[in-house]
Amino acid sequence: MDLNLAEKVFIVTGGSKGIGEAISRAIIDEGGFVMIASRSEQETRDLVAEFNRDRIKSHCLIGDLQDTLLCKKVIDETIKHFGKIDGLINNAGLNDGASLEAGPVAFRNSLNVNLHHYYDLVHYALPYLKKSKGSIINISSKVALTGQGGTSGYAAAKGAQLGLTREWAADLLPYSIRVNAILPAEVMTPLYRKWLDTFDNPEEKEATIISKIPFEKRMTTSDEIAAMAVFLLSDKSGHTTGQFMIPDGGYVHLDRSLT
Ligand code: NAP
């Protein structure tokens, strides 16, 4: 299937590690162009250099998206380099464990690192997305549906991303801009590895989690999330908007007696 992404321009936040990296790679594999916005400087510069080996297919902006001015700069730089924006993948975020006990400052910081840039980037990209009838993807989390315990800030941010997905899908109907969310559950990424390593026995914890994933008793791969993302970005999903996609091997929804 040709997804018709060739020469189309997509912004991927956190696009050089984990799920974001897989999405950037999938876009490049489909012949598209990528603007990566991330604070992971080395990984981002290395990936852009790899993508640009034969010709310029990607650019990057290094910095922390908690800074609204940086979000505006991401859009400005994308236009400067590519002249258009065909889609935005809001992906940068982390489960920072800002719990009920952690207090108001930790909670607000968590919203800042996980949520505000999702809004800011769409706000600044809007004129260009209207022109291209672009597509927006919000990477949320199963935590928005299930809770996890000990992570109020992240859960609030991930839930808000689902609210915004529906709100923007409604708001942007007149412009044929589609907005969808992907909710990963258990995907081995640098962030996930770091979280597992906080347990006394990470191998045992990993095995316990995997044993509860119904489909093939394995984690979802970043490539499986990325495949869903490029489909949602493409005009092959031209009538899909306001949807929450949950490629998780049945982790959230299937009968618990199966595991
Ligand atoms: P990851 O491996 O840490 O990659 C995320 C990238 O985004 C990192 O380079 C990170 O930099 C960057 N980043 C985070 N916050 C940023 C900010 N404010 N400004 C600029 N860059 C920022 O994480 P991942 O596991 O791929 O997660 C990607 C998304 O999927 C997140 O929204 C996460 O909540 C969601 N998710 C993941 C899973 C999973 O199982 N992995 C499950 C549910 C949801 P640093 O390394 O410096 O933080």
Question: For the segment 76-102, what is each residue's pLDDT rounded down to a tens digit?
Answer: 999 999 999 999 999 999 999 999 999
Q: What is the pLDDT of residue 147?
A: 98
Residue 198 CB contacts under 8 Å (≥ 6 apart), including other chains? none
Minimal CA–CA distance to 120: which of 37, 234, 186, 52? 37
Distance 110 CA to ligand 1 centre (A): 13
Q: How far apart are CA 93 and CA 99, in angstroms?
A: 16
Q: Which residues line ligand 1 (CB under 6 A)?
A: 14, 16-20, 38-40, 64-66, 91-94, 113, 139, 141, 184-187, 189-192
CA distances from 191 to 92, 94, 138, 188 (A): 11, 7, 18, 8
Q: Which residues in the chain show pLDDT less than 70?
A: none
Q: How far apart are CA 249 and CA 89, in angstroms?
A: 22
Q: Contact, 250 vs 216, CB < 8 A? A: no
For ligand 1, what atom is nearest to the CA of residue 187? Answer: 40
- Helix (H) / strand (E) element for 141: namely none
Distance 140 CA to ligand 1 centre (A): 11
- Tell me the pTM: 0.98
Q: What is the pLDDT of residue 197?
A: 95
Q: How far apart are CA 45 and CA 40, in angstroms?
A: 9
Left, alpha or beta for 19 (phi > 0: left; psi -120 to 50: alpha)?
Answer: alpha
Q: What is the pLDDT of residue 211?
A: 96
For ligand 1, what atom is nearest to the CA of residue 16? Answer: 9
Task: Give me the helix-helix angle, 152-171 and 117-132, nearest 10°.
Answer: 20
Minimal CA–CA distance to 133: which of 81, 176, 192, 80? 176
Distance 34 CA to ligand 1 centre (A): 17
Q: To test ligand 1's pocket by mutation, which of 25, 70, 94 has the most ligand atoms within 8 angstroms of CB?
A: 94
Q: How far apart are CA 60 and CA 44, in angstroms?
A: 7
For ligand 1, what atom is nearest to the CA of residue 186? Answer: 40
Enumerate the active-site residues.
154
Protein fold of 9-185+221-243:
Rossmann fold (3.40.50)
Q: Contact, 57 vs 10, CB < 8 A? A: no
Q: What angle do CA 179, 184, 189 make, to 5 degrees?
A: 120
Question: For the segment 226-251, what is each residue's pLDDT rounded down to a tens digit?
Answer: 999 999 999 999 999 999 999 999 99
Distance 139 CA to ligand 1 centre (A): 10
For ligand 1, what atom is nearest to the CA of residue 142? Answer: 43
Domain boundaries along the sequence of the chain: 9-185+221-243, 188-219
